[in-house]
Amino acid sequence: MQKYASEDLIKYIKRFNEKKIMVLGDVIADRFVIADPDRLSREAPVLILRHKKEKVLAGGGANAAANIASLGAEVDLLGIRGDDASGRALIKELQGKNIITEGIFVDGSRPTAEKTRILAGGEQIVRQQVVRVDKLESSAISSKLQSYLLKYFKENIKRADAVLFSDYGNGIFSKKTCSRFIDEAAANEKITAVDSRYQLDAFKGAVIATPNLEEASQVYGKEIKTQAEVEEAGVEMRKRLNLKYLLITQGGAGMTLFAPDSKIEHIPAANFSEVFDVTGAGDTVVGTLILALAAKAPVEIAIRLANYAAGIVVRKSGVAVVSEEELIKEVIKNGS
């Protein structure tokens, strides 16, 4: 693995605040309910928790957007929310991070996608996640809302430096709309990154995609286990999906980049021994990656920055973001 001086990476981080990234994706309200253990219930063999507080944070594609904004860039977020309290709380959270939300349209026929996590523990210990309850709608959005998104996308893409597609399977993307968005971005010569949970093959022609092992296995057609299998699958998938680059993320095993001319590079995970919570780490990776590429960083440097950003966020509780200052400190600490 090639080594880079810290200065080689930091100069691109310093360009982040000059960039504007468009994020189109499934926005999710990540609700965290904080509670203290109280007593065992007489009704059932369960613990009763005493509610302390709760908060709504940006999840899904909105979390990727929040990470990009935290690193200093301007973000234009497109998506769909419900006409409900969770949707309004999510918009307030996003606007508090200076994220443009005019491209988030209201669908009164479905609730805002929401993931509720119950965190329990005393004041003197780290609170742990007890249970998660998801309220998600996976049916396709209406053709009317699809046309709203495409119209906004076409009217505003020229002002963006790059585009991130964040697909959590909540109905925004279909094979037809994916190709339209990819083609429109290509026509405007924009860098495109894709993070798709269930239909990566619908985003053929993007600049880079970032599947994890499970998602890559789904596209490849069989389970990928060993590094040799990762490399065999990655070379084939990059060509099949007509991608310039493919980055397969492998959790504690790091990530592997596939580039033109069958070039392969493996990057070990940053700070794997200090992992606390992996929630949203994939959003951090792809958000940092697209921003670094927009800042004209070579892909080999962009993936290192994404790796360092992931190493920071997994040391935090819940969905979290990384700041420019934190990323620079991490680069300096690791030397390259």
271 Cβ neighbours under 8 A, 6+ residues apart: 311, 312, 314, 315
Judged against a pLDDT cut of 70, whether residue 280 lies above it is answered with no
| Segment 118-169, tens digit of pLDDT | 999 876 667 888 999 999 999 999 999 999 999 999 999 999 999 999 999 9
The pLDDT confidence band at residue 1, using thresholds 50, 70 and 90, is low
Percent with pLDDT over 90 in the chain: 81
Task: Tell me the average pLDDT across 213-223.
Answer: 95
Give domain status of residue 232, yes or no: yes
Judged against a pLDDT cut of 60, whether residue 273 lies above it is answered with no
Judged against a pLDDT cut of 90, whether residue 281 lies above it is answered with no
Judged against a pLDDT cut of 70, whether residue 242 lies above it is answered with yes
Structure token pair of residue 160: 């963006």
Place of tokens 């030397």: 335
pLDDT at 214: 94
Q: Which residues pair with 1 in a beta bridge?
A: none
What CATH number has the domain bearing residue 144? 3.40.1190.20
Give domain status of residue 182, yes or no: yes
The pLDDT confidence band at residue 252, using thresholds 50, 70 and 90, is confident
Question: Distance of alpha carbon 53 from its chain centroid, rounded?
Answer: 26
Percent with pLDDT over 70 in the chain: 95
Judged against a pLDDT cut of 90, whether residue 175 lies above it is answered with no
Q: How many domains in the chain?
A: 1
Burial class (CB in 10 A: 0-12, 13-18, 19+), 10: middle
Give domain status of residue 305, yes or no: yes
**26, 161, 195, 283: which is the annotated catalytic residue?**
283
Query: pTM value?
Result: 0.93
Q: How many helices (H) and strands (E) does the chain have?
A: 10, 13
Give domain status of residue 46, yes or no: no
Is 178 or 3 the better-scoring residue by pLDDT?
A: 178
Task: Tell me the average pLDDT across 233-257.
Answer: 94
Give domain status of residue 43, yes or no: no
Extended strands (E) in the chain? 20-25, 27-40, 47-60, 74-82, 100-107, 114-120, 128-135, 162-167, 191-196, 208-209, 245-249, 255-259, 263-267
Domain carrying residue 99: 6-27+59-113+136-334
Judged against a pLDDT cut of 70, whether residue 336 lies above it is answered with no
Task: Tell me the average pLDDT across 222-228.
Answer: 94
Cα–Cα dist 10/16, whole Å: 10
183 is catalytic: no
pLDDT at 90: 98
Q: What is the mean pLDDT of the chain?
A: 92
| Segment 284-295, tens digit of pLDDT | 999 999 999 999
| Segment 23-61, tens digit of pLDDT | 999 999 999 999 999 999 999 999 999 999 999 999 999
Give domain status of residue 32, yes or no: no
Give domain status of residue 204, yes or no: yes
Judged against a pLDDT cut of 60, whether residue 328 lies above it is answered with yes
Judged against a pLDDT cut of 90, whether residue 313 lies above it is answered with no
Judged against a pLDDT cut of 80, whether residue 218 lies above it is answered with yes
The residue type found at 196 is S
Judged against a pLDDT cut of 70, whether residue 271 lies above it is answered with no
pLDDT at 206: 97
pLDDT at 124: 67
The pLDDT confidence band at residue 94, using thresholds 50, 70 and 90, is very high
pLDDT at 173: 95
pLDDT at 147: 96
Is 155 or 321 the better-scoring residue by pLDDT?
A: 155
The pLDDT confidence band at residue 277, using thresholds 50, 70 and 90, is low
Place of tokens 């990384």: 322
Cα–Cα dist 147/152, whole Å: 9
pLDDT at 278: 59
Give domain status of residue 34, yes or no: no
pLDDT at 318: 65
